[in-house]
Amino acid sequence: MNLLPALLSLAWALACPSPLGAAPAVPPPRESAELAARYEAVSTPQFIQGQKLISLLSIEPGDSVLDLGCGTGRLTEQVAKLVGPQGKVVGIDPSVHRIAIAKQREAAGLSFQVAGSDDLASFASGSFDRVYLNYVFHWIDKKEETLRQIYRILKPGGRIGISTGRKDQPSQVRELIRDSIREVLGKVPPDLFVSAFHLTPRELRSLAEQAGFRIVDFQILPFSDYAKDPEDVIAFLSASSSGRFLSGVGEDRRERILSVLKQKLSKIQTNRGIVMEHPAMLLVGEKPR
């Protein structure tokens, strides 16, 4: 599939409150072995953006690194090559099915385990030189606590890397999603899950600084590419959200929305496919020495 990094941000939160206040709760995943395998097949956009994030972290041979929300471990495996045989890389993810795929990549100095942001207390203080969250931070409900725990487990001078989608970025596909929901339901119900992207650049920086990090790099990177067809778009949205996309309104209404959305997407499809564009926020913070 020729999926773009921009697909990560296709479905935006609609009139969502600030995460610094009371953000909507993220619904539980509808994970399965099939969805995990599909994610492995379509996760190239996350992998591409993750490579850029890793390049900003100045990872060195011998470093100890935690990949929080590693998915199926594609990026984690690349990081293990950077730290070399003297380093250590740990990938954690709450999905049993994604970790099952990731464990096939295990090697000397590279390990995976089922765990999430709520399990960081199991790591000793000052355990890691680098911790990164590649398109994971938006799924975390307790963002402030997670950042405090990451600050604790980093060594002095250690760095955190975060890549995530940006709230309120205009997008043609975003508008089609809005239109499709309203055409079927008349409005956007509060229980309908559209996206986990609720952070503005200012809010992301503020969260990191409040946790004690010094911001050493912050970038908004434009991405543009093509999805093959409407089915390609929806398959990605379902897999990357662990089945959450358009959940919360019942399967019948969800299918009706998807049917309308496919029709609308087909109208903007060209010979190259369906164009998508959206910037990603990349933040690198450092724990003072």
3-state secondary structure of 90: strand
Rounded Cα–Cα distance for residues 84 and 95 (Å):
27
Contacts with 79 (C-beta within 8 Å, 6 or more apart), sequence order:
54, 59, 65, 67, 89
Secondary-structure breakdown of the chain: helix, strand, coil percentages, each rounded to the nearest 5: 40, 20, 40
DSSP state of 273: B
Least confidently predicted of 7-16, 66-75, 149-158, 240-249: 7-16
3-state secondary structure of 87: coil
182-202 mean pLDDT = 90
Instruction: Give the max Cα distance, the chain.
Output: 58
Q: What is this structure's pTM? A: 0.86
CB 230 within 8 A of CB 265: yes
Least confidently predicted of 29-43, 100-114, 127-141, 242-256: 29-43
**What residue ranges do the domains of the chain occupy?**
5-16+30-286
CB 10 within 8 A of CB 171: yes
For the stretch 259-262, contacts whose Cβ atoms lie closer than 8 Å and that sit 24 or more positions apart, written own/partner, are 260/180, 260/183, 260/184, 261/176, 261/177, 261/180, 261/230, 261/234, 262/230, 262/231, 262/234
The CATH code of the domain at 5-16+30-286 is 3.40.50.150
Task: State residue 176's pLDDT score.
Answer: 93
